[in-house]
Amino acid sequence: MITIKKAVINTFLTKIFVSLIGLVIVVLISKKLGAEAKGVLSLFVLCISFTQMICDYGSSSALINLSYKYENKNLWGSSIIWVFCVCVLCFLIFFIQSFPFMALVPLTALLLSFTNINNLLLMGNRQVVKRNINLILQPLLLLIFFCLLYFKFSYNTSAYIYAFILASGFTALISFYFIKPFLKSNEPFNFEKSILKIGFWAQNGHLVQFLNYRANFFVIIYFLGEANLGVYSNAIVIAEALWIFGHSLGQIQHIQILNSDNVQFHKKITLKFIGINALFTVTSLIILLAIPAIFWEWLFSKQFSAIHQLLLALSPGIIVFSFSNIFNHYFHASNSFKLIVMVNLVGLIVGIVSSIILIPTHGLIGACWAWNAGLSASSIIYLIFFLRK
């Protein structure tokens, strides 16, 4: 077990490393496969993420809270049963789809959900380093397998998809090795219904928040096509990289709140982390926007020349999220799951309505404005409830 200060530093450095690997992968795909292929792969990953979201109704971040109260073996086994059933059902749905590789979505989601369950229980047991190792392994192995399949065996778009599955499988095995000692118990296994009862509200919030970030992907591909989705998804990947520090702070904030009964301490640390996160985010954003447009064109390819303009349009949402992210962790650790669902639902409705209005008329810039609108709506409501509480 490590101290809170070391945990923050370790988690932050982990996320930096993971983001750098992710950026290398994005660059390789963009340069070697082009914007249209990037759009197809973004849609593939989006479908995996959506399937995972359904899986997470039985394996949500509520597992961290529950690990303080219930047997880890029961929580782990109950979550695995739920995830397996969801993925089997999703396989029957995706199998009949004509979109390439859709039949592989449930398998990949199963492997990722298995790792996610192990990571959540590791966090609940304060095994931050082991959990961070798992976070690093997934993208690192993905990069290695992608390069091997693309450059050695001349796979094209399928290189990324097969590499994704292989990386997910190896990471799942290693994460199980880490969590296995915490699953030992002489008690007989009992299905823990609380993972569904509490996880239902926790995951509703995550699902709605996920749609808040990604719903406009479907609007973009409908009105603007796969190539434009590829360009926009790259801009979003870069923008979300600025949230690394905030996510790291939020996770440590979450653990500190769970380990304290002092309500004033909960509020104090939340305000402190908001200030630190906002300062870091704004500073990083200024540096990012100082990078000239020609750099992004060189990094990805000429098809991605609009990246700088899109990042400028996404700036308000990037800053706003530095506040709402910390608020979200505060309410999550306080078990205010219904409030989180309501807040994110408002943001989702604002985002979708804005996307339908703005994307057909303003293209990718309109998508950025709609993204900002959804995040801003959520953040304002979070602030109101935090001040009232």
Q: Which residue has the higher pLDDT, 22 or 60?
A: 22
Which bin fits 320, alpha (ψ -120 to 50), beta or left (φ > 0)? alpha
Return the pLDDT at 2: 55
Place of tokens 């305000």: 271
Return the pLDDT at 338: 85
Q: Where are the domains of the chain?
A: 1-192, 219-389
Counting residues of the chain whose pLDDT is more than 70, the rounded percentage is 96
Average pLDDT over residues 232-257: 86
Average pLDDT over residues 195-216: 80
Average pLDDT over residues 277-289: 93
Nearest of 292, 318, 314 to residue 305 by alpha carbon = 292
Work out the mean pLDDT of the chain and round it to a whole number.
89
Return the pLDDT at 8: 65
Average pLDDT over residues 230-250: 88
Return the pLDDT at 98: 61
Place of tokens 């094209």: 156
Return the pLDDT at 263: 86
CA distance 351 to 354: 5
pLDDT at 1 over 80: no
CA distance 317 to 371: 7
Return the pLDDT at 186: 81
pLDDT at 112 over 90: yes
Nearest of 238, 210, 221, 214 to residue 52 by alpha carbon = 210
Q: Which of 112-121, 233-242, 334-343 is predicted least confidently?
A: 334-343
pLDDT tens digits along 2-15? 566 676 677 778 88
Place of tokens 């509480």: 389
Return the pLDDT at 139: 95
Q: Residue 330 — very low, low, confident or very high, per pLDDT cuts 50/70/90? A: very high
How many alpha carbons lie under 13 Å from residue 35 in its C-beta half-sphere?
23
Q: Which residue has the higher pLDDT, 153 or 287?
A: 287
Model pTM?
Answer: 0.80
